[in-house]
């Protein structure tokens, strides 16, 4: 995918200088860049690497002297990661899916496939499924009866989309994701030990043998526009109402969303995040890796939770939290400092105890 420097600058809405007709076929770190690659040197610390590499053009920091760096052209950026988003999009061809429907697919006659959709081998599409135009389904995907997927979807191999799931436009679904599996919801004939302990927060009074009965998942999953679902992520369908993921939200690999959960718009849920049933997550919430969220609580808009945080109670909007149980980040920092001081504190206490003992013994002999 050859791109001119001029085209790259336009795609990034960035200023460019030098020979803008130079064509590049990819991007590289400065020290290893070849003449047909654009070097990524968006900070002064990469200047030396440019001299080691063979790049003719580079993404540079504002104010850089591109001629002195031996370049023939430069694109100047002020926000490197945002520039990376645009540049990577320009060079990413995406998966290779042959146009049309592969002959090994099994598609129910009642399914509606949008214009210019490409569906790869061994895909199974159920009754009354609707798939929007320009969809790309790489292969080995199953889409159950009544599901609806909007336009421009990109679905990678091994994805499983359950019955009656509703998905907006421009879905990106990575390999192995499961959207619309049954919720994990069970009940016993009499109140279980879990219910008793949740109510009393004490030891159980009596232990009785009981069998679990499934609460079936009658709801579905509703996903907005521009949502990305990571590899092996699982989104459970609701018990009665739909589990919902708001537009613009991004779920990383191995994220689990429990039944009835409501996730707002533009959220970022990183790897191994788990959200238990019936919890509500606000808009623009960021949950870093391995965060756990308890059931039936609310996490407000614009909350940021650091990695490994366990959230057991409601969190007000705009708060930054960390720890287990979750507290304000500044509080957790103080807790961490105090924990690191414990060995020294215990040593001081032991020394003080020894001194007191000696003084007591001395006083007793006088």
Please give the torsion angle defined by the CA atoms of residues 316, 321, 325 and 330, in that order, rounded to the nearest 10 degrees: -120
Whether residue 259 lies in the annotated active site = yes
Pairing between strand 154-155 and 112-113? unpaired
**Is the separation of the CB atoms in 47 and 70 below 8 Å?**
no
Identify the CA nearest to 138 among candidates 110, 102, 113: 102
Residue pointed to by tokens 């070849």? 34
Residue pointed to by tokens 């499983």? 160
Contacts of residue 231, defined as CB under 8 A and 6 or more positions apart, other chains included, come to: 156, 174, 175, 176, 177, 253, 254
Angle, helix 80-91 to helix 5-12, in steps of 10 degrees = 130
Active-site residue (options: 7, 256, 259, 283): 259
Examine residue 50 and say whether the peptide bond preceding it is cis (omega within 30 degrees of 0). Answer: no
354 SS3 class: helix
Residue ranges of alpha helices (H) inside the chain are 5-12, 47-52, 80-91, 193-200, 329-365
Active-site residues, by number, are 259
């Amino acid at each position: 995918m050859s791109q001119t420097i001029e085209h790259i600058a336009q795609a990034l809405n960035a200023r460019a200088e030098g020979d803008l007709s130079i064509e590049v076929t990819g991007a590289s770190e400065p020290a290893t860049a070849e003449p047909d690659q654009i070097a990524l040197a968006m900070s002064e610390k990469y200047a030396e690497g440019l001299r080691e590499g063979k790049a003719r053009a580079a993404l540079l920091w504002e104010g850089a002297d591109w001629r002195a760096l031996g370049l023939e052209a430069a694109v100047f950026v002020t926000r490197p990661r945002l520039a990376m988003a645009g540049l990577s999009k320009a060079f990413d061809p995406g998966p290779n899916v042959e146009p049309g429907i592969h002959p090994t697919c099994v598609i129910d006659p009642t399914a509606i496939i949008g214009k210019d959709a490409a569906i790869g081998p061994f895909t199974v599409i159920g009754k009354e499924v609707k798939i929007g135009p320009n969809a790309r389904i790489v292969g080995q995907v199953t889409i159950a009866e009544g599901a609806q997927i909007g336009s421009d979807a990109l679905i990678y191999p091994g994805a499983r989309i359950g019955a009656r799931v509703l998905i907006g436009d421009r879905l990106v679904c990575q390999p192995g994701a499961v959207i619309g599996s049954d919720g994990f919801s069970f009940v016993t004939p009499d109140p279980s030990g879990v219910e008793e302990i949740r109510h009393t927060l004490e030891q159980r009074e009596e232990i009785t043998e009981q069998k679990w009965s499934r609460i079936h998942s009658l709801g579905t999953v509703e996903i907005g526009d521009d949502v990305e679902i990571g590899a092996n992520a699982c989104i459970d369908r609701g018990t009665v109402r739909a589990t919902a993921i708001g537009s613009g939200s991004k779920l990383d690999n191995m994220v689990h969303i429990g039944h009835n959960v409501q996730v707002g718009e533009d959220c970022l849920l990183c790897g191994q995040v788990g959200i238990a049933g019936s919890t509500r997550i606000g808009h623009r919430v960021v949950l870093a890796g391995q965060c756990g969220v308890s059931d039936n609580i609310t996490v407000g808009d614009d909350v940021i939770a650091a990695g490994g945080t366990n959230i057991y109670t409601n969190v007000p909007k705009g708060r930054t939290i960390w720890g287990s149980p979750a507290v304000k980040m500044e509080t957790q920092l103080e807790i961490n400092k105090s924990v690191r001081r414990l060995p020294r504190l215990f040593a001081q206490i032991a020394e003080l105890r020894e001194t007191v003992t000696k003084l007591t013994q001395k006083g007793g002999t006088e």
